[in-house]
């Protein structure tokens, strides 16, 4: 176990030397179960090589134990994804529950971690949001708007910016339709581009505080305010 850990630590710094700026770590909880000292040591080694490198863990549930400053900078924020899909796309929960689910994370995650959470609506392990929405791209764009307004780092899984379809893994890993313009929804693409520009222009969307204004059965609204 020691020689394996040593090899992986060398690999982590070698890729940083080659130009990488961070690591996305697959099923890190399984590594932690075998060697609980590995991720703290991994963080020390990586941050010593590049203090600005970004360490993201694939954790699907509450991640407070991983975000205490000794392991990861962020995790793949599946709880936020779940809340967004249930309320905005599926209509499976009401606005009050949506606000409670999101507020729980705001209240329990450290502020530095909240600002850099890996917020997503889909990944290589999940069905694509357009498919989950039954093809309703209005719901897709509304969910994307939420993603860019919520605290953290908005992450678009390749193809979701053009409304690509795909069911559960492996169907969600379809190749990008470079030569099939009929599969590209230009309205969704333009929408995502606009969201990216707004996020870059408005400091409150990147670093501002978050406050819910109203949460009702079919309505939930929050505001981002400059610090």
Q: List, by residue number, the catalytic residues.
A: 26, 58
> 3-state DSSP call for residue 133?
coil
CB burial string 136-174: b at 16+ within 10 A, e below: ebebbbbbbbbbbbbbbbbbbbebbbbbbbbeeeeebee
Helix axes 38-49, 2-17, angle to 10 degrees: 30
**How many residues appear in the chain?**
227
Q: CB under 8 Å to 92, separation ≥6 — which residues? A: 86
CB–CB of 42/120 below 8 Å?
no
Report the alpha-carbon distance of residue 42 to residue 70 in Å, rounded: 9
Q: Tell me which H or E stretch contains 223.
A: strand 220-225
Sheet holding 54-57, edge to edge: 22-25, 54-57, 74-75
124's tokens: 């290589």
């Amino acid at each position: 176990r020691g020689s394996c850990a040593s090899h992986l630590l060398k690999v982590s710094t070698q890729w940083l030397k080659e130009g990488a700026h961070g690591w996305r770590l697959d099923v890190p909880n399984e590594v932690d179960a075998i060697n609980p000292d590995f991720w703290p040591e991994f963080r020390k080694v990586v941050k010593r090589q590049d203090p600005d490198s970004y360490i993201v863990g694939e954790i699907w549930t509450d991640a407070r134990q991983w975000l205490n400053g000794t392991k990861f900078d962020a995790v793949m924020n599946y709880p936020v994804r779940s809340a967004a899909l249930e309320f905005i796309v599926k209509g499976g929960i009401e606005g009050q529950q949506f606000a409670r689910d999101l507020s729980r994370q705001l209240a329990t995650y450290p502020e530095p971690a909240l600002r850099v959470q890996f917020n997503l609506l889909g990944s290589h392990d999940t069905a694509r949001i357009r498919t989950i929405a039954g093809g309703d791209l209005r719901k897709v764009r509304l969910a994307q708007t939420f993603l860019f307004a919520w605290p953290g780092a908005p992450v678009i899984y390749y193809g979701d910016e053009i409304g690509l379809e795909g069911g559960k893994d492996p169907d969600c890993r379809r190749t990008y339709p470079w030569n099939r313009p009929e599969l590209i929804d230009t309205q969704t693409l333009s929408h995502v581009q606009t969201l990216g520009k707004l996020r870059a222009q408005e400091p409150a969307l990147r670093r501002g505080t978050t406050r819910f204004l109203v949460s009702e059965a079919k309505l939930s609204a929050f505001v981002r305010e400059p610090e």
